Amino acid sequence: MSELLRAAWESRDHARADYSNFRVGAAIEAADGTVFGGCNVESSSYGLTMCAERVAVFKAISEGAREFRRVAVVTDTPSLTPPCGACRQVLWDFCGDIEVILANRTGETRTYRLTDLIPDAFDADRLR
């Protein structure tokens, strides 16, 4: 298993999925190889919940990382879990067209380019 997937599984152990019980782990690799993990964190005010992918990205940004290569998302579910729409947007904003690697416990994996998950995305260029 790659270091990135290992980090995503490790982060998933910290998930606070108290309401959905749907535990997600993510890990993002910066251009210099540094890996930042994230897990979903749910609030009793459900709408304040934060997905694992955005936790990982925001952790990385807050630590000064600026360029990224890959992000992994893991769940212990029969099917793989692709990032939600909000996470796709944030990944696009901060990471551009990175690799998105999905995995579950059965060892199934699938790799996408982010542009395949969010084609014709809105971004800062459209604000000009």
In the residue annotation, 53 being an active-site residue is answered as yes
46-54, 56-64, 97-105, 108-116 -> range binding ligand THU (CB under 6 A): 46-54
- Angle at the Cα of 111 from the Cα atoms of 120 and 67, rounded to 5 degrees: 65
Contact predicate 37/27, CB 8 Å: yes
Kindly state the smallest distance separating residue 128's Cβ from ligand THU, in Å: 30
| Using rule CB under 6 A, residue 91 touches ligand THU | no
Contact predicate 101/72, CB 8 Å: yes
Identity of the residue, 31 or 43, whose beta carbon is nearer to ligand THU in the bound complex: 43
Residue 29: phi, psi to the nearest 5? Answer: -105, 120
What's the chain's Rg over C-alpha atoms? 14
The two three-digit tokens of residue 11, written as one number: 């982060």
Tell which one of 11, 37, 81, 102 touches ligand THU (CB under 6 A).
81
Place of tokens 């919940």: 49
Kindly state the smallest distance separating residue 28's Cβ from ligand THU, in Å: 13
Kindly state the smallest distance separating residue 69's Cβ from ligand THU, in Å: 19
Task: Look at residues 37, 31, 34 and name the one whose alpha carbon lies nearest to residue 99.
Answer: 31
Q: Which residues are catalytic?
A: 53
Report the interface residues with ligand THU, using CB under 6 A. Answer: 17, 20, 22, 24, 40, 42, 49, 51-53, 73, 81, 83-84, 87
